Amino acid sequence: KVRSDRKIVDWEEFKMANPKIFVFAPDTPKRSGDTYAKLEEAGFQLAVGDQEWRKPGVDATQSMREFAQGSDAFMGTSTRANPITRELMEISPNLRIVAKYSIGVDDIDVEAATELGILVVHGPTEANWGGVAEGTIGMILALLKKTRERDEYIKTGKWRDASVQGIYLGQRQDGHEGVTIGIVGLGRIGRRVCDLLAPWRVRLLAYDPYINKADFNIHDAKESDFETLLKESDVVSMHVLHTKESHHMINNETLALMKPSAVLINTARGSVIDEKALTEALQNDVISAAALDVFEDEPISDDSPLRDLGHKVLLSPHAVQHNVEPGIRAGLGWARDGVIKALAGEVPDHIYNPEVLPRWRERFEGDYLLPEPVDRYCLF
């Protein structure tokens, strides 16, 4: 269907209509400025938010409400400090899409979006996924090879000691079996971790009920159920999205299944781990150590007990993906293209909530705010 009051039939009418895009969490000007400028040149009205809104402790509720007025689309990167709530989405009755530059949507009320008939699209993978995988390997090596302990030991005037003896990862011809590494979530990052570990000849277990069976073989990982993986792994590395199913999947009960010598790595989402349970497990030697790049509340509080666990924890400020150059440039392009398609009354790619499609099609399919064909806007 086409609503006659919103249909744009030529370029001049389109420029007068000026569909509005609210950029709720902009990326750095270096990566995003050109894209935003081209969208404005093409006739879109952009309301670009402040990067400060992304910082913990900054309340941008009122500013975001003002920017959201009359918007046809939202787009942006992560905005956990000021999430996309039902209230924010309800401000504009013509809102048809919320597009993320990143893969995670835990900062969007997806259930509310679905009820309101709004599409949520995301990057099919982080553009900087390789950096997350490399950082994971760095954390594994730091814990197993006791890099920090050795550094501290020699700086305090000591030399060799059994307390700073590392663990040999891989299999050897002398019969050493090597360690078992369990990958929870065999998506793009989990698969890359497996590939990076291949030359080490470790034993790889993987748990992921949502992927093709062939992916386990392709990446030389043995398919495992979650409990078996926890029981048999020397390293458990988390690579899952935060969903209802994954929330606190590491808890008192699951930690108790792990080896006392095991280490836990989390570069996924903070809420997949019950931090209170993990702290107690580390304090009581239920497991040996943990490396955390993400936390349930960020930044972690000054009085967090995780800060007082010494070398039992390796902490990182949600920065394992921050590397020179990669960024989320590709994710920005995917979000932009998704917005353009949705404003053209077309179903975009990378939809996170496909269950909304019947209602969305009824409301918006064929109802375009752009001059046809949409291809002319996908070239930049």
pLDDT confidence of 34, banded at 50, 70, 90? confident
Write down the pLDDT at residue 31. 66
Paired with 291 in beta bridges are 265, 314
Of residues 35 and 252, the one with the higher pLDDT is: 252
Asked if pLDDT for residue 370 goes beyond 80, the answer is: no
pLDDT confidence of 54, banded at 50, 70, 90? confident
> What does DSSP assign to residue 84?
B
DSSP string covering 64-92: HHHHHTT-SEEEES--TTS-B-HHHHHT-
CA 249 to each of CA 209, 283, 292: distance values in angstroms, whole numbers, following the listed order: 14, 20, 15
Least confident of 9-18, 152-161, 232-241, 298-307: 9-18
Asked if pLDDT for residue 375 goes beyond 50, the answer is: no
Write down the pLDDT at residue 126. 59
pLDDT confidence of 123, banded at 50, 70, 90? confident
Residues forming the active site: 269, 298, 318
pLDDT confidence of 367, banded at 50, 70, 90? confident
Helices (H), 74-158: 86-90, 110-115, 129-144, 147-155
pLDDT digits (tens, 9 = 90+) for 89-104: 999 999 999 999 888 8
Please give the average per-residue pLDDT across 282-308, as a whole number. 95
Write down the pLDDT at residue 80. 85
pLDDT confidence of 28, banded at 50, 70, 90? confident
| Prediction pTM value | 0.70
Write down the pLDDT at residue 75. 95
